Amino acid sequence: MDRPLSIVVIGASGDLAHRKLYPALFGLYAQGYLPERFAVFGFARSAYTHEGFREHVAERLTCRYTPQESCGQRVSEFLQRCWYIRGEYGSSDAFLDLYQAMKEVEGAGEAANRLYYLAIPPSLFLATAHALGGAGMVQCGLGEPWSRVVLEKPFGRDSASSARLTREMAKVFTEAQTYRIDHYLGKEVIQNMLVLRFANLVFEPVWNRNYIASVAIEWKEDMGIEKRGYFDDYGIIRDVMQNHLLQILALAAMEPPGRLDSKHIRDEKVQVLRNIPPLTAADVVVGQYTGTERNGRRIRGYTEEDAVADDSLTPTFAAATLRIRNRRWDGVPFRIRAGKALDERVNEIRVRFKDVPGNLFTQAAPPFAASVTAANEMVIRVQPDEAITLRIVNKVPGVGMQLAARDLDLEYKAAFSEPIPDAYEDLLLDVFRGEKGLFIRSDELEAAWEIFTPVLHELETKRIKPAGYAFGSRGPETG
Ligand code: BG6
């Protein structure tokens, strides 16, 4: 990490860069993870001066890792390394200007590693990649100095468009240079999944169809789509299910990797995804939020949002049951549900175990007879308030034999004093280090699209109408 590093944020005036990337870069800087000589180059169409850009970057920086007194100083050191270049995304000339500015800042001496973060709408990926390539800014080969590109989903709209994007991008950046982000893989609890499963003895022996009755992965947001204009073109299945939820499922269901490196981990994820039969419309329930009144105030429904057509059929909610056809999981339903504008913001995985066979307590004669209502359940809460709980059945203190389920609780806030980093901090650091385990490989992406492409096409060609659910409710009935 001694070599100079240039981080180029393309789409520098956008929301993703502002909310996530600059704070994450500053977090890494504050913790000493950036090389001595690094620079951040913002590139976008907006008219900023370097100073104006620095003010924009500063708006979201926080002092999580720096004691208050030194924070101002660290912020201003960081901002001094931020530069802005204005230009059109597809223009090689604009990229030549950017290149020129980079060379001036980088100076003579050891050539810098370069990271290109495409924080732009996917419709601009190809033109931008070609312009970068055309301006001679992409270093070939795997050695140093390296050039790497980071992209965020959506990677296409279905199997065919995703394959086309992968093929075209590969003309500029090889697969080895490409980092496809799914930011859920950077979340602390998601990164803990493999540790939980494979660094503990007690879970793996019961982690299969013999002991597990079902797995539910739930994702809820309590906001509507707000300013996310792109959403209407994609819908909740492409926005959240095909990527975040499927990745969580893959980590929960994969076989142990032979080794803990990115190749072995991703091989196992691909394997499990390939064992999931594609969904059809009969396997899913789709919904769309409708307007409602709250405290005398009208809350807009989905089709009343500014960026949405009045007759839009785009689902903002979906529930589906996936099956995994392999020896470990045959017969175990994996229920996934995702929805916007619901009653709360939560993402959790619920692993429900089977009932105790020949349960002594339900079969016993008085005074030992007791009804046990709850099966064991493990809940892994990704957000908010990261936690892992295991529901166990206990005797309620007192005379007689009354049983009740209670939780063994691991709340991150109480158990760990360390701050929980933002997912982007970990992911960016991995890109700098060339560590690819938390990024989506092209065959993994292909397997993910194969599961969802048929149902997406069917919903669209048959113009299936999503069930309405009131903003802030628990969503439509899913049976
Ligand atoms: C994004 C989705 O990937 O994740 C958004 O496109 C969603 O629709 C967001 O709101 C949620 O991210 P987080 O980290 O706030 O859970």
Give the number of the atom of ligand 1 that is nearest the alpha carbon of residue 153: 3
Give the per-residue pLDDT at 400. Answer: 82
The best mutation among 15, 182, 221, 237 to test binding of ligand 1, ranked by most ligand atoms within 8 Å of the C-beta, falls on 221
Decide if 424 contacts 186 (C-beta within 8 A): yes
Task: Measure 342 CA to ligand 1 centroid, in angstroms.
Answer: 14
Per DSSP, the residues of 369-410 read --------EEEEEEESS-EEEEEEEEEPSSSS--EEEEEEEE
Say how many domains are in the chain.
Answer: 2
Of ligand 1's listed atoms, the one at least distance from the Cα of 383 is: 16
Classify residue 277: in a domain, yes or no.
yes
Q: Report the candidate in 110, 221, 109 with the shortest Cα–Cα distance to residue 472.
A: 221
Are 240 and 339 part of one and the same domain?
Answer: yes
State which ligand 1 atom lies nearest to the alpha carbon of 223.
Answer: 10
**What separation in Å is there between the alpha carbon of 123 and the centre of ligand 1?**
19
239 lines ligand 1 (CB under 6 A): yes
Pocket test for ligand 1, best of 16, 183, 346 (most atoms within 8 A of CB): 183
Q: Is residue 177 part of a domain?
A: no
pLDDT of residue 68 exceeding 80: no
Percentage, residues of the chain above pLDDT 70: 99
Close Cβ partners of 45 (under 8 Å, ≥ 6 residues apart): 13, 86, 87, 88, 89
425 lines ligand 1 (CB under 6 A): no
Residues 133 and 194 both lie in one domain: no
Q: Which of 244, 245, 340, 426 to mutate to test the pocket of ligand 1 (most atoms within 8 A of CB)?
A: 244
Pair 128, 237 in one domain: no
361 has a pLDDT exceeding 80: yes
DSSP state of 306: T
Within this chain, do residues 138 and 269 fall inside the same structural domain, yes or no?
Answer: no
* Confidence (pLDDT) at 191: 95
Distance 206 CA to ligand 1 centre (A): 32
Q: How far is the CA of 187 from the centre of ligand 1 (A)?
A: 12
Residues 283 and 384 in one domain: yes
Identity of residue 127: A
- What pLDDT, on a 0 to 100 scale, did the predictor assign at position 377? 97
What is the pLDDT confidence band of residue 62, given thresholds at 50, 70 and 90?
confident
Type of residue at 176:
A
322/277 Cα distance (integer angstroms)? 8
- 221 ligand 1 Cβ < 6 A: yes
Decide: 110 and 4 in contact? Cβ < 8 Å.
yes
Q: What is the pLDDT of residue 63?
A: 84
Distance separating alpha carbons of residues 263 and 253, to the nearest angstrom: 17
Structure token digits, residue 435: 């560590």
Which CATH number goes with the domain that contains 20? 3.40.50.720
Confidence (pLDDT) at 402: 85
Query: What is d(CA 218, CA 344) in angstroms, rounded to the nearest whole number?
Result: 11
Residue nearest to atom 6 of ligand 1 (CA): 239
Q: Are residues 115 and 229 in the same domain?
A: no
Q: With 0.75 as the threshold, say if the pTM is over it.
A: yes
Closest residue by Cα to residue 200 from 423, 350, 390, 356:
390
Question: Going by CA atoms, what residue is nearest to atom 9 of ligand 1?
Answer: 240
Residue 94 lies in a domain: yes
179 in a structural domain? no
Ligand 1: nearest atom to the Cα of 347:
16
155-195 tens-digit pLDDT: 999 999 999 999 999 999 999 999 999 999 999 999 999 99
Pairwise CA distance, residues 25 & 31, whole Å: 10
* Domain finish residue from 128, 152, 176: 152
CA geometry: angle 420, 187, 386, nearest 5 deg: 60
The CATH number of whichever domain residue 384 belongs to comes to 3.30.360.10
**pLDDT tens-place string over residues 112-121:** 999 999 999 8
Rounded CA gap, 231 and 248, in Å?
A: 22
Separation of CA 359 and ligand 1 centre (Å): 43
Site to probe by mutation for ligand 1, drawn from 239, 305, 382, 383 as the one with most ligand atoms within 8 Å of Cβ, is 239
| 197 and 76 belong to one structural domain | no
Residue 226 lies in a domain: yes
Q: What distance in angstroms lies between residue 247's CA and the mean position of ligand 1's atoms?
A: 14
Check whether residue 318 and residue 239 sit in a common domain: yes
Atom of ligand 1 nearest to the CA of 423: 14
- Domain boundary, last residue among 106, 136, 152: 152
Q: Which residues contact 373 (CB under 8 A, 6 or more apart)?
A: 405
Distance CA 124, CA 215 (A): 38
Same domain, 74 and 10: yes
> What is the atom index within ligand 1 of the atom nearest the CA of 345?
16
Catalytic site positions: 244
In a domain, 478, yes or no: no
**Closest residue to atom 8 of ligand 1, CA basis:** 239
**How far apart are alpha carbons 274 and 258 in whole angstroms?**
18
127, 152, 177 - which closes a domain: 152
Q: Taking residues 389-393, what's their average pLDDT? A: 96
Q: How far is the CA of 240 from the centre of ligand 1 (A)?
A: 7
Query: In this structure, which residue's CA is closest to atom 10 in ligand 1?
Result: 221
Q: Report how far ligand 1's centroid is from the alpha carbon of 176 (Å).
A: 26
> Is residue 387 situated within a structural domain?
yes
- Do 267 and 375 fall within a single domain? yes
Q: What's the chain's average pLDDT?
A: 94
Q: Is-cis flag, bond preceding 145, omega within 30?
A: yes
Within a 10 A sphere around the Cβ of 220, how many other Cβ atoms? Answer: 19
Q: Cα Rg for the chain, rounded, in angstroms?
A: 25
Residue 1 has pLDDT above 70, yes or no: no
Residues 258 and 127 in one domain: no
Ligand 1 contact, 182 CB (< 6 A): no
**Is residue 46 located within the same domain as residue 102?**
yes
Considering the domain boundaries, does residue 442 fall inside one?
A: yes
66-75, 143-152, 285-294: lowest mean pLDDT where?
66-75
Range of the domain at 445: 185-470
What does the CA dihedral 290, 293, 295, 299 come to, rounded to 10 degrees? Answer: 50
Ligand 1 pocket test target in 187, 220, 240 with most atoms within 8 Å of CB: 240
Q: Report CA(423)–ligand 1 centroid distance (Å).
A: 12
**Whole-angstrom distance, CA of residue 320 vs CA of residue 456:** 12
User: Per-residue pLDDT for 341 more than 70?
Assistant: yes
pLDDT, residue 300, reads 95
Closest CA to 290 of 315, 259, 307: 315
Q: Is the CB of 377 under 6 A from ligand 1?
A: no
